[in-house]
Amino acid sequence: MTVFATSATMVRGSSVTTGWGPGLQSLPVDAHMAADGCRVVPIATPVCHDERLRRATRECVLAVVAVEQALANSTVTRSELAGPRTALIYASASAYAAANWAFLVEDKEQTVFFPYTAASAVPGEVTIQFGITGPYLSLLSGANAGIEALWQAAMLLASDQCDRALVLGVETFAACEDLFTAGRWLLDAPLVEAVTCLILERHALLGEVDYSAGSSEDGLTMIDARLESQTTAAVSLCLPTAGDTHHIGQRLQDRWPDLPVTVVSNRVGTCLACTPLIGLLLSLAEARHGHVLLISRWWDVWSVLRWPLVADRLSSRGERKDG
């Protein structure tokens, strides 16, 4: 396996927009308090003047704008992004629900996307818009999809199947608020709409990315094994329910009292597949050395990802920033 050190970090560019606003700086200190009882915190729909996207769904427009913003925050050009050497890995647990819901309850003749194609609409529009023709994966595995997308991107880069990988997460709830906030759902409020894009490139530390998945019985064992075998700078809990978060957080505090633990939902709210992506960006912004352990769970399946942290950060234009 050949890995090239192309920059100070694997993340060459990124963008984050949530219902709280654009960028990490828009995230509140306490999402639950900031929501003030609101069950869903929506993103303002961007105005799109591209005629090609006139009939695109709201989720597609949000995704296209997110990629444009990530490019603007990087040194990667639009022409470099196009072509067969860029991979697209799309992660979502909810963004296709709006199209499916519209198909079920609205006039069928006015529905653009059908249930079987709705999940492909977002990555389809992005690849067309930016001319991306490389490997493509769509992960719809709930809250774990963000972690799995990062792992798949790392594997595609490490195996030289691409020069860069676009990891894109989109989560929307507003169009189906009644569905997502029904009593049978166990997701913690507030549900916060989010769209996140990371542009990854190959790096010498790529071989240190490590992923594990397992059933509920295996989850704690996997976490313990990672913390005992590697130097870990921080842990990001990306769990969608308060019960799991409290249980794992307390256990980590008891066993590793000096280990910094970030509960991403405290800052963002519940945004499912976007949570690990935002958690990684929060960890990179802190510029620690070592590894961040991203932990997620969706029903009975745990996902754990170890990702190397690099102290050097990128400025808003993607240039190296020392210190």
Residue 236 has pLDDT above 90, yes or no: yes
Residue 184 has pLDDT above 60, yes or no: no
Residue 109 has pLDDT above 50, yes or no: yes
* Sheet with 290-298: strands ordered across: 210-215, 301-309, 290-298, 234-237, 261-263
Residue 182 has pLDDT above 90, yes or no: no
Q: With cut-offs at 50, 70 and 90, classify the pLDDT of residue 314.
A: very low
pLDDT tens digit sequence for 280-290: 999 999 877 78
Tell me the domains of the chain and their CATH numbers: 11-206 (3.40.47.10), 208-310 (3.40.47.10)
**Residue-level pLDDT at 9:** 64
CA-based nearest residue to 93, from 119, 123, 60: 119
Contacts of 280 (CB under 8 A, 6+ apart): 11, 150, 198, 236, 292, 294, 307
Average pLDDT, the chain: 86
Q: Determine what percent of the chain is predicted with pLDDT higher than 70.
A: 88
**Residue-level pLDDT at 120:** 87
Q: What average pLDDT does this structure show over 66-94?
A: 96
Residue 311 has pLDDT above 60, yes or no: no
Say if residue 11 is exposed, middle or buried (CB neighbours under 10 Å; 0-12, 13-18, 19+).
buried
**Residue-level pLDDT at 125:** 93
Q: 């990306």: which residue's tokens?
A: 238
**Residue-level pLDDT at 112:** 55
Tell me the H-state helices in the chain.
31-35, 58-72, 78-81, 97-105, 115-130, 145-158, 177-180, 216-229, 242-255, 264-268, 274-285
Contacts of 24 (CB under 8 A, 6+ apart): 16, 278, 281, 282, 285
CA angle 226/220/262 to nearest 5° reads: 70
CB-based burial, 249-264: b 16+ in 10 Å, e otherwise: beebeeeeeeeebbbb
- Ranked by mean pLDDT, which of 44-53, 125-134, 226-235, 311-320 comes out on top? 125-134
Residue 31 has pLDDT above 50, yes or no: yes
Q: What average pLDDT does this structure show over 57-85?
A: 95
Q: With cut-offs at 50, 70 and 90, classify the pLDDT of residue 28.
A: very high
Q: With cut-offs at 50, 70 and 90, classify the pLDDT of residue 139.
A: very high
The pTM is what?
Answer: 0.90
CA-based nearest residue to 244, from 297, 181, 304: 297
Q: What average pLDDT does this structure show over 112-133?
A: 84
**Residue-level pLDDT at 316:** 36
